[in-house]
A and B are shown apart, each in its own frame.
Chain A
């Protein structure tokens, strides 16, 4: 059994090296990544937005396309980050043994976890920025106020990476993640206020949504993208920070156990 001390949780410069490694891989595949980053929101906005706009009209005082676009700004962060923190992290841990190779250098488990969280948040910002551009071009959000979404996307990325990353050390294969995706991520996507306001859910549903990170991300992103006043931004920010922090601490523990037997 690995016994961890406080210093084992303190990330160092190695985390930036881990982050940079991922940036370098991403840069090699930049064309594919960018096409996906732009393609997905365009499809959502065109298919769902145009399709529903005619029937729904306004939602919560906003044109439906605007309502949807301002929610997608952070739900895209969730999808990108969750995918990265499950499939990509597992790939680096297990089949590629990248972490084992890295652990033969001065880099420690805390650096790997911190570097991966940082990278997930970076990818989240890229995904969110793509939507800002697309929605901006379609005249759905107003600048410069909407630029405030970028730090929210970063925080949301950290929160989701923290939410998802502790899982991979328990996985025996990729199949394990399908459960989590279908049973947790997809319902959260549907019920956190991206497609309709959370207060149209029954009380239990509202309560459940408020425990999960996406709701809080939407509550921050939508007012910023639509120049509306923020309500309780500190609470929402703190919940996201809590997910990031708790996820980091759990990840250091779980990855240490898996990688340092």
Chain B
């Protein structure tokens, strides 16, 4: 399935995205905080990914990506560096929330 990589990202994102609007969390308190935390590492990891993809560290199976490329990376791979950090931030805030409640 060409949409398989996109589907994985969508499945990963769905829960965190919905639950991130919970009033118990403060994820959207500052837009700057959210944007900068996701955006600052992005160029470093994209450059890393593009360089090593060109060198042959890894490759993307064309059967499972929609076929839109940013340089030598499938669009899905670029979105990975936005989706996964967001899921991580959500998870981090949830862990902090649950540990705080137990005190």
Asked whether A and B interact, the reply is no
Chain A interface residues toward B at CB < 8 A: none
B residues at A contact (CB < 8 Å): none
